[in-house]
Amino acid sequence: MKGKFITFEGIDGAGKSSHVEWLAETLRQSGRVVHVTREPGGTELGEKLRELLLNEPMHLETETLLMFAARREHLARLIEPALARGEWVVCDRFSDATYAYQGGGRGLDRAKFLTLEHWVHAHLQPDLTLLFDLPLDVARERIVLANRSLDRFEQERVDFHERVRLAYLERAHASPARFRVIDANQSIDNIRKQLEQTVSSICS
């Protein structure tokens, strides 16, 4: 039996990352083998590319190509083999993030994004994408309160993040069977109840 592929998406400060490991552990308790991973990253090469992508200024198309290069390695080394073994993969960001950040935020030509997506993983989309959405002012406040050093995406202006959010919602609207939009401006307990209900729908 083929495994399941679940991705978490959302603007910076949406709080999705705090639920990734929790969901994986919940799935493990039901007897599933679950891999937790992230993008960019997830492999030795991918983590090296992550450091460049988050910290080094570069041309938009260079940035996009590196994102997809890391993704191709991630798919080949971890995601596809795990799914083929019947294991589950829970991933913090995937191609929807590239659509939102490079496409929505930075203005990458959508045709170029779609060409790369088709080339790298036309055969594979997540079984379920959980999009954590909340007002931008709340997300920015959370980032400030976290009191940590920011990567170059988190340091972008407010209008950049607003475009990212709108692109995410556009992508969700275009693929309603795959996406579930989570109101991230509610209690952790309520969010986790919603996650349990949502994930149970693909567990059969």
Does 11 belong to an annotated binding site?
A: yes
pLDDT in the model for residue 204: 61
Does 69 belong to an annotated binding site?
A: no
Question: Residue 5 forms beta bridges with which residues?
Answer: 89
Helix (H, G, I), strand (E, B) or coil at 201: coil
Does 17 belong to an annotated binding site?
A: yes
Does 191 belong to an annotated binding site?
A: no
Does 92 belong to an annotated binding site?
A: no
pLDDT at 198 over 90: yes
DSSP label at residue 44:
H
Does 41 belong to an annotated binding site?
A: no
pLDDT in tens, 42-100: 999 999 999 999 999 999 999 999 999 999 999 999 999 999 999 999 999 999 999 99
pLDDT in tens, 158-177: 899 999 999 999 999 999 99
Name the pTM for this structure.
Answer: 0.93
Place of tokens 């937790």: 36
- Residue ranges in 36-91 assigned as alpha helix (H): 44-55, 60-74, 80-84
